[in-house]
Structure 1
């Protein structure tokens, strides 16, 4: 078996392998690499394992380096789940060994893996879950599976005059970003650059769609879905809070679920949540079930890992920073937020 760093000419066989593997996500596709490189310039280290000319496994990695403050390899940044996928555990282990060698080469302090499978050689994980919904073959079947309260909320959004449509082009990206950036500011989080989303849409092409919800001509809800074969994920969705009573989120998700089914998807990934949180309950009402996420770190240098006390303090500091950030004017947040966001791997 030979494991090499994948190059542009490997794109087709890389994607063919991802599209054929049951554990692959839309983030495993080469398009994610292209979009992150284009928007942020981070260095990719995509590993491909081959045996007698046949791909046996892949492991996508990005280096997030900021002077002396940060240097880590992540699989993958800006999404919930990626990590190695392979034909067998032996190939997976070989890929992880290569990842540790790459960490030494780049002098990275950690190799973080975001998977749905825990691995015996990793030493840290979190308590987050993916909320996954198995999709039927017909939207009507999904509709009939909803509780009456959920159906009435969707219908109420339509009665409130909200309109959904699929977005495309620069003007719709502008509408998306208008909603998304305002929501991120209210959450106290630096926002991705508009160019990042434009790069995602361009790189994924037909494997990516943007949904928008309007009140009259004003955008008040937005979301982006990505496809990998029959697997759909929604990494970004937002609404403007003062309009939430009108139900834009209900109309947004229902239409994106319908579109996914019609496109041939049989699994919808609602994204990461903390069990019993508000977002968890929102996703559960659609029928989504929790699947444990393992954000693990390979043991590069065990002395560099934070203690539980320091992790707790980090959480406190993060909340304080979020409270301060949410007070910024939107124009200022959108100016400096992307410069920070590109180094925040979450």
Structure 2
């Protein structure tokens, strides 16, 4: 099997392959990869085997250059997961080519983030080591609306849905600059509260520009018109992905986040979606894990792998977050929004 290295931005064969591959998701798309390139300067590359009909398989990576965290190949940065679109036998050959390129480019390491853990044969043959362990929640939607609703935890979810209805919360969705600004103001509140640097506004603008109708900003406002919660969801094929969420803590009792996710679930059901991907949760966030459990979503193990062996999560994320917390605590508000643009490209 001869391995080709293709540019997913200019070679339309990749997007055609992704559209026709049943296990491909939003993070495989050329649009997602282009947003990563535009925002952070990463170099997307797909390792794939081809025949006369097009691509046979493929795994997308981004080549990251950073003076702070080193050069590396990651599949994929700022993506909860990226399942290799290849059989185990094919994957072994693809990863061998990736490792060769990593050596040639003086990369510190290669990282893959599959949706399902690799079989032991793959990790042994490719000399991969587990570098990060998390969980992902997936809510199955092959049921009636009533069946899905009955799966919600009574006190934490169903009662909050009722409360949000009594409060007459207002709902908006779209991709306008006005909605983006509402989302981003709430994001800054949330990141400041958690003492974490915010993602750059440019990232969200590029996601909107690249993904188009596959992305929705959803905003909940009080009956007085005050934005209280917002989420960003992504849609591809029959899967809806909850990617970002934020809120104003002064209004948490109104149930804005629950209101938005419930609206998303109902819309997904109406459109025939098979699944709501509630995203990755790290083990040090038990509250977030419990919140997703309460929706009746199934919890799965999410494991990242590196070559050569390393630990500590994506791009020394622990060190980055510790440094970020120190900066967040010290800098004034006008500089807070610039911090993410300075730091995030180094930790994809």
Q: 1:99 to 1:341 in 2, by over 3 A?
A: same
**Count of residues in Structure 1 that have an aligned counterpart in Structure 2:** 336
Q: Which residue of 2 aligns with 1:190?
A: 197
Q: 1:145 to 1:318 in 2, by over 3 A?
A: closer
The C-alpha deviation readout for 1:141-175, integer Å capped at 9, x for no partner, is 42243343322211102222322221321111111
Distance 2:32 2:3 in 1: 21
In the TM superposition, 1:170-185 aligns within 5 A as 170-185=177-192
Distance 1:48 1:329 in 2: 47
Instruction: Note if contact 2:197-2:324 (Cα within 8 Å) is conserved in structure 1.
Output: no
Task: After TM superposition, give the deviation of residue 324 of structure 1 in Å.
Answer: 4.9
1:332 maps onto 2:335 in alignment = yes
Please identify, of 243-252 and 16-25, the stretch whose mean Cα deviation from structure 2 is larger.
Answer: 16-25
1:297 maps onto 2:296 in alignment = no
Q: 1:316 to 1:297 in 2, by over 3 A?
A: closer
In the TM superposition, 1:61-210 aligns within 5 A as 61-67=61-67, 69-86=69-86, 88-115=87-114, 116-118=116-118, 119-120=122-123, 121=126, 122-136=128-142, 138-149=144-155, 150-210=157-217
Instruction: Note if contact 1:29-1:228 (Cα within 8 Å) is conserved in structure 2.
Output: no
In the TM superposition, 1:218-297 aligns within 5 A as 218-275=226-283, 277-297=286-306
Instruction: Note if contact 1:190-1:337 (Cα within 8 Å) is conserved in structure 2.
Output: yes
Instruction: Note if contact 2:39-2:202 (Cα within 8 Å) is conserved in structure 1.
Output: yes
Distance 2:339 2:326 in 1: 16
Distance 2:319 2:103 in 1: 32
Distance 1:147 1:130 in 2: 18
Distance 1:166 1:314 in 2: 32
Which ranges of structure 2 fall in alignment gaps of 5 or more residues?
none
1:343 maps onto 2:342 in alignment = no
Distance 1:283 1:270 in 2: 7
- 2:113 aligns to what SS in structure 1? strand
Which ranges of structure 1 fall in alignment gaps of 5 or more residues?
none
Instruction: Note if contact 2:153-2:296 (Cα within 8 Å) is conserved in structure 1.
Output: no
- 2:102 aligns to what SS in structure 1? helix
TM-score (norm 1): 0.88
Q: 1:316 to 1:108 in 2, by over 3 A?
A: closer
Quote the RMSD (CA, aligned, Å). 2.5
Distance 2:48 2:325 in 1: 38
Task: After TM superposition, give the deviation of residue 326 of structure 1 in Å.
Answer: 4.3
Distance 1:322 1:193 in 2: 16
Q: Which residue of 2 aligns with 1:36?
A: 36
Q: Which residue of 2 aligns with 1:19?
A: 19
Q: 1:47 to 1:320 in 2, by over 3 A?
A: closer
Distance 1:294 1:4 in 2: 27
